[in-house]
Amino acid sequence: MQITKKFIVAGAGIVALIGGGGAAYAATTSATTAAPKVTAEQAIDIAHKTVPGAWVSELDFDARGSRADVWELELTKGSQRHEVDVDASSGKVVKNQIDKNDRDDDNDGDDDD
């Protein structure tokens, strides 16, 4: 009978540890994301400096979890579309590329791809 009580007590202790650990893990992963240090307006200013003369056609905030959060901006300058990602904590441009899928080389209003 003593051995059975020991197994029950040990089993209950293990269940309590696992349950507590699971609750702690859930608390850390479901915590709300802190507000970005770089505001949307600041990200737009940074993108305008990166692609002068362009206008912002799209702005999204991407909370990436384990990677750095970024502001994703799409800018249009003439017939080119630029994709610019701005780090939401440092303000550094981490991506700057011309979107080659949306080309309209002959300016007829439809994509040439």
Q: Locate all alpha helices (DSSP H) within 1-113, ordered by sequence.
A: 2-29, 40-50
Contact present, 103 and 85 (Cβ < 8 Å): no
Q: Which 3 state secondary structure label does DSSP give 74?
A: strand
Distances (CA, A) of 98 to 25, 45, 63, 82: 41, 18, 23, 4
pLDDT tens column, 21-54: 555 555 555 455 678 899 999 999 999 999 999 9
pLDDT tens column, 44-96: 999 999 999 999 999 999 998 888 999 999 999 999 999 999 999 999 999 99
Contact present, 71 and 59 (Cβ < 8 Å): yes
Model pLDDT, residue 64 = 86
pTM: 0.60
Residues recorded for the chain: 113
